[in-house]
Amino acid sequence: MFSSPRLRTRVAVSFALLAFVISTVLSVASYQFARNYLMKARESVAQTRALLDAQAVSHAMTIKGDSAQRAILELPLVGARASQHLYSSDGRTWVGVQTPVPASAIPPQLLLAAATGGGAKQRFSYQGQPYLAVATDIDGATYAEIFSFYELDTALKRGAWLILGIIVLSTVLGALLGLYFVSYLLRPVRELAYSARKLAAGELGARVLLTGDPDLDPLAVTFNSVADSLEARLAREQRFSANVSHELRSPVTSVLGTAELLETRSAELPARESGLVTVLSQQVRRLAQVLQDLLEISRINPETPPQWESVNVRQLCHDSALQRGFDSGLVSGDDVTIRTDARRVERVVGNLMENARTHGGGVVRVKVLAEFNAVQVIVDDAGPGVPEELRERVFEPFNRGLAHSGREGAGLGLAIARDQAVNIGGDIEIATSPEGGARFIAMFPTHEESS
């Protein structure tokens, strides 16, 4: 399947075809008109000259008594490529001084037409060059004169090449004009698309400037209205999440404290009540973690500037693993120091490791890979991997994916990790590890300071 060409390409091709058709029609019509006019003018001059020369020969022979040969030789020369011939009725032929074309090359039908009709003209070629023969009847004999059309034919060929060049140049100029105009016309659309991409990337303040164009301004106004509504809605949702989390935090903390107290005394309780206390403690802890994640999501704001500082990424991953109870030997890779927001990078790496433990059967490795103007932190897990059709959905809030370890998470860790990565100019991608599990690749663009 071939994809449809871009609008720029289609417009450029349309302009080029239009310029080609117009220039071809005008150029060919002009060339044909000029060619026909010049050929007819040249033939008219040649015919007039031949008639005058025939009268001169007839006058010299009848009045002066000159011989046919003398009468022909006394004719004035007409260019360097003309020759005169006189054919008498008894088959004898007298030829002038100039003989670039032999008498045998003259078309016989021309002589026959001149003898029977009193005069005739015909174009013919001799040795690849064009000529015009004009024949007329004088005193019972046939006089023929040949004129070269070489100069005119050469000029017409040069004109044809010039016209071809004009057509090609017009086509190219048409394509360039098409590209220019479509670029000019699509500039507002490109600005709208750029603002839409910024809005999709989380820059809620992206807006489109009004240009005063009555056809484009309504589109810009609509886009800005949608952006305003989206920004207001997200702000309301963040405020709601923050308020609910704050309101529930104190009661949940009290319930958690009570549950933990009961859990410490669970050995004194009957088996059934002890099991209920254990389940209660687990669920309350999970609820407390959900509230903590909701509070963090409500605090995530793309407008908040990152706190830039020099951070050793491998050491940060090492500390994050220890804090979460992982083996620090899982961390390997490049020992690189970059300038970034340490708190957000630690949150991203920590959430990816927690996700591997909760949903991926455990962490296999954490590798730091330094690249040009970027650092990758790769977290491989021991699970079966994430299908391609689910790789974007796992970053949605409250999407728990596939809980292979038997533990259920809140479904907010990956959403928080990607938001934090995006806020410092990075991103998170999902691939497949060499062992077949999921591979989460966190990318942090920055300039390397030392290694």
What domains, with CATH codes, occur in the chain? Answer: 7-155 (3.30.450), 217-299 (1.10.287.130), 308-450 (3.30.565.10)
State the pairing for strand pair 331-333/363-371: parallel
Place of tokens 């390409």: 9
Instruction: Name, in order, each residue with C-beta under 8 angstroms of 156's C-beta and a sequence gap of 6 or more.
Output: 35, 38
Q: If we measure between CA atoms, which residue out of 341, 342, 297, 288 comes closest to residue 316?
A: 342
Give the pLDDT confidence score for residue 400 in this predicted structure.
Answer: 58
H or E element at residue 422: helix 413-423
> b/e string for 405-431 if b means 16 or more Cβ within 10 A?
beeebbbbbbbbbbbbbbbbebebebe
Tell me the C-alpha distance between 389 and 174, whole Å. 45
pLDDT at 420: 83
Name residue 124's beta-bridge partners: 131
Cα–Cα distance measured from residue 341 to residue 347, given in angstroms and rounded to the nearest whole number? 10
Distance from C-alpha of 412 to C-alpha of 362, rounded to nearest angstrom = 18
Q: Which residue has the tokens 């490795």?
A: 365
Q: Are 316 and 353 in contact (CB under 8 A)?
A: no
Q: Which long-range contacts (CB under 8 A, 24 or more apart) does 3-11 make?
A: 7/182, 7/186, 8/179, 8/182, 8/183, 8/186, 11/178, 11/179, 11/181, 11/182
- 413-423 and 271-299 are packed helices; what angle lies between their axes, rounded to 10 degrees? 20
- pTM listed for this prediction: 0.48
Per-residue pLDDT of the chain (451 residues; tens, 9 = 90+): 456 677 778 878 888 888 889 888 988 898 899 889 998 998 898 888 888 888 888 888 888 777 777 777 777 766 555 566 666 656 666 666 555 677 777 788 887 777 777 788 888 888 888 888 888 888 777 888 888 888 888 888 898 899 899 889 988 998 888 888 878 777 877 787 788 887 776 677 778 888 777 877 787 888 888 888 887 887 776 677 666 666 666 776 777 777 777 777 777 777 777 777 777 777 777 777 666 666 666 555 555 677 888 999 999 999 999 988 898 889 999 999 988 888 889 889 988 998 898 888 889 999 999 988 889 999 999 988 888 888 888 887 766 554 444 445 556 778 888 888 888 888 999 999 988 899 999 999 875 454 4
Report pLDDT for 1: 46
**pLDDT of res. 451:** 44
CA distance 187 to 54: 74
Supply the pLDDT for residue 249.
Answer: 67
Q: Which of 84, 80, 78 is nearest to 106 (CA)?
A: 84
Indicate the pairing of strand 141-148 with strand 129-138.
antiparallel
Strands 129-138 and 119-126: antiparallel
> What is the arrangement of strands in the sheet containing 331-333, beginning at the earlier edge strand?
331-333, 363-371, 374-381, 438-445, 427-432
Contact 302, 420 (CB under 8 A): no
